[in-house]
């Protein structure tokens, strides 16, 4: 039994969509969630800036003697995961858009896959390599939603302005051709309810949280790091100076846990 905490890191509240899945699957672990609110969003910044931010945040978390690190951000993973694994000798789990399961679904539906993500994630070689590796039928298309992270950080998860944003972004997309939409940024699952209402009923929404947490659980078990006696407590940390950051993260977690419960029954 290892009582040390598992660290989750993101540029803002997006990684809470992954943390909520961890709390469901690993309810006895202790968690630290670190939001780099001073530099959010990452998806519109340069690779060099993002790499520096991620390494700085990781160093802060390592000082807290965590037993594992989840980089709960697709953009940060694509840019800095190799640097982190080369630097620290603990399990480090990253994110990638759930393209592989989406492509597998497309084989049964006969429809295409649409990946929604930040501009930086979609421009990275790691994403191109992922699509090239799993998309043998050339069924994957991508759409950047650069403004959505900022909207999410304002806890604006619903409402007419959000619906109008999605209507505008999807106006040129023939949704009848798609069977699966991949939420390829950890901020985007906060909009699952709105998207389910707006998209045709045949479209399935998926994200990478479940696969990421399964991988985390596997690594903890392999290294004998599981904690079966913890209380599932979460400590929130922020790089920003806004005293309201912690409240925002708590609110986001409550919202996301409701969404996860609805999805998982």
Among 23, 66, 185, 195, the active-site one is: 185
Per-residue HEC secondary structure of 54-68 comes to HHHHHHHHHCCCCCE
152 is catalytic: no
Among 73, 130, 144, 149, the active-site one is: 73
Q: Which residues, other chains included, contact 65 with Cβ-Cβ below 8 Å and sequence gap of 6+?
A: 4
Asked whether 208 and 97 are in contact (CB, 8 A), the reply is yes
d(CA 125, CA 140) in angstroms, rounded, equals 16
User: Exposure pattern of 118-135 as b/e (b: 16+ CB <10 Å)?
Assistant: bebbbbbebbeebbeebb
Which positions are annotated as active-site residues?
A: 73, 185
């Amino acid at each position: 039994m290892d009582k040390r905490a598992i660290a989750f890191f993101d540029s803002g509240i997006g990684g809470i969509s992954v943390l909520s899945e961890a709390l469901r699957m690993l309810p006895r672990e202790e968690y630290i969630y670190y939001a780099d609110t001073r530099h959010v969003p990452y998806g519109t910044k340069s690779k060099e800036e993002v790499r520096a931010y991620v390494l700085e945040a990781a160093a802060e978390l390592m000082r807290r003697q965590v037993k594992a690190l989840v980089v709960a951000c697709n953009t940060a993973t694509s840019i800095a995961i190799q640097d982190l694994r080369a630097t620290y000798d603990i399990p480090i789990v990253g994110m990638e858009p759930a393209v592989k399961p989406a492509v597998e679904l497309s084989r049964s539906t006969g429809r295409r896959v649409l990946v929604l993500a930040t501009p930086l994630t979609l421009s990275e070689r790691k994403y191109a390599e992922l699509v090239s590796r799993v998309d043998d039928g050339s069924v994957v298309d991508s759409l950047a939603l650069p403004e959505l992270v900022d909207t999410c950080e304002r806890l604006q998860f619903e409402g007419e302005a959000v619906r109008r944003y999605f209507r505008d972004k999807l106006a040129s997309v023939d949704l009848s051709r798609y069977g699966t939409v991949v939420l390829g940024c950890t901020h985007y699952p906060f909009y699952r309810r709105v998207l389910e209402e707006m998209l045709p009923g045949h479209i399935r929404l998926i994200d990478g949280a479940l696969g990421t947490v399964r991988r985390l659980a596997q690594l903890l078990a392999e290294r004998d790091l599981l904690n079966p006696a913890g209380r599932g407590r979460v400590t929130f940390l922020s790089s920003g100076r806004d005293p309201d950051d912690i409240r925002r993260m708590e609110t986001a977690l409550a919202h996301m846990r409701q969404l996860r419960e609805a999805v998982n029954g």
